[in-house]
Amino acid sequence: MPRLFVPAENFPEISGADAHYLRNVLRLQAGDRLELLDGTGRVHEAEIVSLTKSQARVKIIKSHQAETEPEVKVTLAQALPKGQKMDFVIEKSVELGVNRIIPVLTERTISKNTKLDRWRKLAKEAAEQSGRAIIPEVTELTNFSAVLKLKSPSNLALLLWELEKARTLKSVLSDNLILRYSDILILIGPEGGFSRTEVEQAQALGWQTVSLGKRILRTETAGLAVLANIMYERE
pLDDT along the chain (235 residues), means of 10: 80 81 86 87 89 87 86 95 95 97 95 91 93 93 97 95 90 82 95 95 96 90 95 84
Q: Which tens digit of pLDDT belongs to each residue from 27-39?
A: 888 999 988 888 8
Work out whether strand 42-51 and strand 33-37 pair parallel, antiparallel, or are unpaired: antiparallel
Q: Name the pTM for this structure.
A: 0.86
Work out whether strand 73-79 and strand 183-188 pair parallel, antiparallel, or are unpaired: parallel
Does the domain spanning 3-65 belong to CATH 2.40.160.40?
no
How many residues are there in the chain?
235
Given a contact cutoff of 8 angstroms between Cβ atoms, the answer to whether 207 and 148 are in contact is yes
Domain boundaries, the chain: 3-65, 73-234
**Of 146, 145, 135, 142, the residue nearest 100 (C-alpha):** 135
Q: Which tens digit of pLDDT belongs to each residue from 112-137?
A: 888 999 999 999 999 988 989 899 99
Q: What is the domain class of 73-234 according to CATH?
A: alpha beta
